[in-house]
Amino acid sequence: MLPLELKARLEAHAVAEQLAAITLCRDALQLQLANGVALMLCFASAAEYSMSWRWGDAEMRIDTAPTHPGLASAPNHLHLPDGNVVADPLSHVGAAPWDNAVRLVERLLAAPLLGYEQPSTERAGAWIHPTL
């Protein structure tokens, strides 16, 4: 899906009310959500994509390369703010780029970090994720 087509579909969708800005780039689409999330959507194909976002100091990304064959969702995976890589709970390789993009936008509007919590000083280890 070309960024121009994706932009038009997002502007026509119900999430448009929550989009503060949409910037069309050469091969990507930048979105600023009303809740402060800055999102970059890059789709080479339905099987090759990167969707990265920033909220405050936290940065996260769902992408398909490099692969992490040990994850249940391989090749797609989620990069957490602490650098850990986990199975991708949202996107589906082969699904229409529009479906993956709108699913992520809707989820980010509700939970900018997808429900992951930064560990408190009392807890050691990786970020904690509730069941999606």
31, two tokens: 């979105």
pLDDT digits (tens, 9 = 90+) for 82-104: 999 999 999 999 999 999 999 99
pLDDT tier for residue 118 given thresholds of 50, 70 and 90:
low
Residue 97's pLDDT is: 93
Mean pLDDT calculated for residue range 67-83:
93
CA dist., res. 61 & res. 9, Å (int): 22
Residue 131's pLDDT is: 46
Instruction: Name the residue type at position 112.
Output: P
Cβ(10)–Cβ(21) below 8 Å? no
Residue 4's pLDDT is: 79
CA dist., res. 25 & res. 107, Å (int): 23
Of 21 and 48, the structure prediction assigns the larger pLDDT to 48
Indicate whether 59 pLDDT > 50: yes
Residue 26's pLDDT is: 85
